[in-house]
Structure 1
Amino acid sequence: MIAPSTLLDTARALATEAGQLIRDGRHGAHIEGTKSSSVDIVTQMDTASERLLRERLAQWRPGDAVHGEEGEDSSGNSGVTWVVDPIDGTVNYLYGIPHFGVSVAAVTGVPTPGSWRLEAGAVFDAQGRLWSAARGEGAWCDGVPLGAQEGPDLAHTLLATGFQYQPHRRRVQGEIVARMLPQVRDIRRLGSAAIDLCHAAAGLVDAYYEHGLHAWDFAAGELIATEAGLRVAGIDGGPADERLLIAASPGRWNDVRDALVKAGADTTWARADA
């Protein structure tokens, strides 16, 4: 098997092969275990998908490190780390809701949100679409360039979000949604951060925010959204991290952030964990 020639080529090849694997295996999917709570599930296909991603990386790029959701981190000496989510949207996957995918990103530097440099990423979704981006080169869906438009004002914004699996944190996140809902056109909760970011990049939603994401949830999606022209940042305007990510067009980002602050999104964990 010939190794793809660039980080972008590798990301696309990995996401596509693992994405086809999980699509073919969905009807036999069953729960294999749980993680942060009894509803935060792992299927046998999550494990199979990550195994495939690691095997391909060992073949194609043996000097690279891997940071994945379902397995232990592996070290490397090339300076490149692959941040992979074998199935983002596992609950949707189990139920057959077509809003899930495989997310693959290559980063350099310290492989931590806010410290890394996103180099290339790809997301293969349940409908067979391949979303991808490379730093400074743009973003695409099935090879068609993505260019985000200036979003509408807050009152006409279709806003996407998601929730964590711990009940006490979900309660607080629900309170924030209740405060945001009267201020926007509507809110969508579709269950996959990676694909929500791709949808924002394509203008299928106007803006997106979420608390408590892991690095593998948003690494590829952040790069795709950014390269499409969106601003992706944390609530303080600095780099997005695992506390909070907000994605919106640059001219509307402050309006979304300010509304979230008024809704209590800047103190979510302090209140949830009290």
Structure 2
Amino acid sequence: MKSLMRRIDRFCIDHPKFGIRNLMLYIVIGSGLVWLFGKMDGNNILINALVFNGDAVFKKFQIWRLFTFVLVPTQDGFLFLISLYFYYFIGNTLERYWGSGKFTIYYFSGMVLNILYATIFWLATNVSISINTSYLNLSMFFAFATLFPEMQVLLFFIIPIKMKWLGIANAVIFALAIITSKFPINLLPIIAILNYFIFCGGWLLDYVKPSKVKQKQKTIDFKKAAKKYNKNQAKKPYTRKCEVCGRTDTDYPDLEFRFCSRCEGYHCFCIDHINSHVHFKN
């Protein structure tokens, strides 16, 4: 998982133009238009034509449903408007934190996994289910709560609460839904949010490290490590190199580099990855 994330980071660095900028803005606008036109359509013809449906996709070859299901509203009225704003805020924040390329990969991998979930369900039960953005939004919510656990939001616009507690509450509800459903169908929702575990598993493990429960840790001698690091760097054509993306101060003289105090050893990262890397452990 760590190796995969480093490859994704490297790909995004090597292809800076990859990705859809302001992806969530397009999703929100599209969802708003579908909701508006759906209100004018009393028979829900438009909604039914956009949702993912196994029979329609695989028997009638209505391929557009593989993409348009993300535009189908999951709520109505005031709750719909609130959810649009909330998930736009979450998605936009993740895009600014990860970059357009990485967020695009995250969102589209979530779409693929949701389609996989619905397809397996259809093949296993011969029942065609209509999927929407519920699990996509849940995976984004979990990612946001993992990366920004201390951020406070106003629950019901009144109660200040940290994202980590909302994340834990949603995780408990998600787990209970899995436990109370029939096996093995109850495991399928995990497939739908697998992109969260792929992208945020490293941060999640770091957050619940044994050190959090007062387990003994190794003491790092930074003076000794720095001396060894500088000795090794003297043999190289650069002074600083990011452990994630490989950029150096020679190739990018204006780029800021820092050293991580949470990694074991002496590891250098660029400003883009100092807060978003998987920590090195000996």
TM-score scaled by length of structure 1: 0.29
Bigger fraction of residues in helix: 2
Bigger fraction of residues in strand: 1
TM-score scaled by length of structure 2: 0.29
